[in-house]
């Protein structure tokens, strides 16, 4: 069984970001970039399935600028077998990425596609769903457990008030939630090994895909600054303020 995994290069989750002064977007100059955290979970899950004998090959795909090769090398160091970079400018919209992944599904014929539930830069939470629709594949989003047996994927999903378990006929699309697994640390020997693994670079045109944007960002703004808190002398003063100033009691 072949598994295709999507990995997006995004601004590192631990760095403090700011908005460009002209309000056209987030300032990414000299920012640390990393693999989208949900995609690390996706790669980890695919590699675990391979280690358990349920999969034979893990192919990591990224759509983005040339530097996304580093993100793909990280996926290879976690344990993916080969990588495909679909080179495009940053900010390809979820529909564009889904169309590219659909073309790769047609070319690679994976039995399973694992994506993150969302990219932490655009928070779209759309690509997996769009891919499943374009490719006509069953989908299970926000997976917190995944098992493969007898040509089927069994997926547990956290829903309001409990867990839901779905059974999907493969091939299928699964998107990862935080609790699916804890990605391993990438070791130096595996980073060295990853340098020798195959990484193919293609363009969206090679797949016959048009990624012309459909959305226009009108403005990006910082959230309003919160004013400083006030320390109250005692509970009586606090209740007084909540009643008469905040008017929440
Ligand atoms: P989104 O719909 O943008 O929130 O992204 C959901 C998931 O789709 C991500 O966690 C990735 O697995 C995949 N994805 C989105 N954009 C890309 C990209 N440029 N390259 C590779 N995978 C992507």
DSSP 17-79: P-B-TTSSSB--TT--EEE-HHHHHHHHHHHHHHHTTS-SEEEEEEEE-TTHHHHHHHHHHHT
How far from chain centre, in Å, is Cα 88? Answer: 17
62 touches ligand 1 (CB under 6 Å): yes
What's the whole-model pTM score? Answer: 0.92
pLDDT above 90 covers a percentage of the chain that reads 89
- The pLDDT assigned to 185 comes to 95
Rounded to the nearest angstrom, the distance between the alpha carbon of 189 and the centre of ligand 1 is 28
Asked if residue 230 is part of any domain, the answer here is: no
Render pLDDT for 38-92 as a digit per residue (tens, 0 to 9): 999 999 999 999 999 999 999 999 999 999 999 999 999 999 999 999 999 988 9
Q: What is the pLDDT of residue 224?
A: 87
Q: How far apart are CA 194 and CA 63, in angstroms?
A: 19
Residues 181-200, mean pLDDT to the nearest whole number: 97
CATH of the domain at 150: 3.40.50.620
Q: Which of 94, 130, 116, 121 is closest to 180 using CA atoms?
A: 116
Q: Is the CB of 138 under 6 A from ligand 1?
A: no
Average pLDDT of the residues in 219-226? 89
Banded model confidence at residue 233, pLDDT cuts 50, 70, 90: very high
How many residues in the chain?
Answer: 249
Is the CB of 125 within 6 Å of ligand 1?
A: yes
Task: State residue 10 phi and psi, 5-degree precision.
Answer: -135, 170
Average pLDDT over every residue of 191-200: 98
Is 215 part of a structural domain of the chain? yes
234 φψ region: left (φ > 0), alpha (ψ -120 to 50), beta (else): beta
Residue 245 lies in a domain: no
Whether 122 contacts 92, CB under 8 Å: no
Q: How far apart are CA 20 and CA 77, in angstroms?
A: 34
CA distance 131 to 137: 8
Residue 74 falls inside a structural domain: yes
Residue 242: inside a domain: no
Q: Are strands 152-159 and 139-149 parallel, antiparallel or unpaired?
A: antiparallel
17-47: b (≥16 Cβ within 10 Å) or e: eeeeeeeeeeebeeeebbbbbbbbbbbbbbb
**Mean per-residue pLDDT over the chain, rounded:** 96
* Residue 20 pLDDT: 93
Q: With respect to residue 243, please indicate whether it lies within any of the assigned structural domains.
A: no
Tell me the residue range of the domain where 98 lies: 2-224
Asked if residue 37 has its Cβ within 6 Å of ligand 1, the reply is no
Whether residue 100 lies inside any domain: the answer is yes
Q: What's the number of domains the chain is made of?
A: 1
Give the distance (Å) from ligand 1 centre to CA of residue 142.
Answer: 14
Q: How far is the CA of 9 from the centre of ligand 1 (A)?
A: 9
């Amino acid at each position: 069984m072949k598994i295709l995994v999507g990995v997006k290069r995004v601004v590192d989750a631990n760095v403090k970001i700011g908005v460009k002064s002209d309000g056209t977007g987030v300032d990414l100059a000299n920012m640390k970039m990393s693999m989208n955290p949900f995609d690390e979970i996706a790669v980890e899950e695919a590699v675990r399935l391979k280690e358990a004998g349920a999969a034979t090959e893990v192919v990591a795909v990224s759509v983005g600028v040339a530097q996304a090769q580093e993100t793909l090398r990280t996926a290879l160091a976690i344990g993916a077998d080969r990588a495909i970079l679909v080179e495009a400018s940053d900010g390809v919209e979820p529909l564009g990425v889904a169309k590219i992944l659909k073309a790769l599904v047609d070319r690679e014929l994976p039995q399973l596609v694992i994506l993150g539930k969302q990219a932490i830069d655009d928070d779209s939470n759309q690509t997996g769903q769009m891919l499943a629709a374009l490719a006509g594949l069953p989908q299970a989003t926000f997976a917190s457990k995944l098992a493969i047996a007898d040509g089927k994927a069994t997926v547990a999903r956290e829903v309001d008030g409990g867990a839901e378990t779905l059974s999907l006929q493969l091939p299928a699309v699964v998107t990862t939630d935080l609790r699916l697994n804890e990605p391993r640390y990438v070791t130096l020997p595996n980073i060295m090994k990853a340098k020798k693994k195959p990484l193919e670079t293609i363009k969206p045109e090679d797949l016959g895909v048009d990624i012309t944007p459909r959305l226009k960002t009108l403005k990006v703004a910082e959230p309003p600054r919160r004013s400083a808190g006030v320390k109250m002398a005692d509970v009586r003063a606090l209740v007084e303020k909540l009643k008469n100033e905040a008017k929440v009691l």
